[in-house]
Structure 1
Amino acid sequence: MSLASDTEARGIRGAIRRAYIWYRFIVLAVVEALRALIHEARQPRLKDGPPTRDQITAGRGD
């Protein structure tokens, strides 16, 4: 194997390694986003909507 082909092979392996690292980063980010969406979707919904200002301040003694 000549020096030029050895250097070229190292460059190709480095490019593949960098592409794989980016691929894993993107896949993990997508998986984490989907987990967050699923977690949010499983939260119980409030039947009466968000609490009003009176309901929030009622327990504080203001």
Structure 2
Amino acid sequence: MKEKTESSKEPIPKKVPRSLNNLLKVEKDLKKMNLELKKVVKKVNTLEKENSKLQRKLDKR
């Protein structure tokens, strides 16, 4: 009769597949791009407001 060794009870660390690593990297990149895009949209909105104000001033003349 064979006895189980202690090492067999330890959990074996699983390797993360390359495809999952790639997906995690893509997710991180997308989050970063999303933050940048939000900044750009905010700047565009600000510029549109300024443009609108300037256009009104020109129209009054």
What's the TM-score, normalizing by structure 2? Answer: 0.58
> Residue 60 of structure 2: SS of its match in structure 1?
coil
d(CA) in 1 for partners of 2:26, 2:43: 26
Instruction: Spell out structure 1 runs of 4+ moving beyond 2 A.
Output: 4-7
Partner of 2:51: 34
**Is there any run of 5+ residues in structure 2 with no aligned partner, and where?**
1-18
Q: Is 1:6 aligned with 2:23?
A: yes
Structure with bigger gyration radius? 2
Q: Deviations over 1:4-57 (max 9, x none)?
A: 33332211000111111111111111111010011122225xxxxxxxxxxxxx
Count of equivalent residues = 43
- CA-based RMSD of the aligned residues comes to 1.4
> Residue 42 of structure 1: SS of its match in structure 2?
helix
Structure (1 or 2) with the greater helix fraction: 2
What's the TM-score, normalizing by structure 1? Answer: 0.57
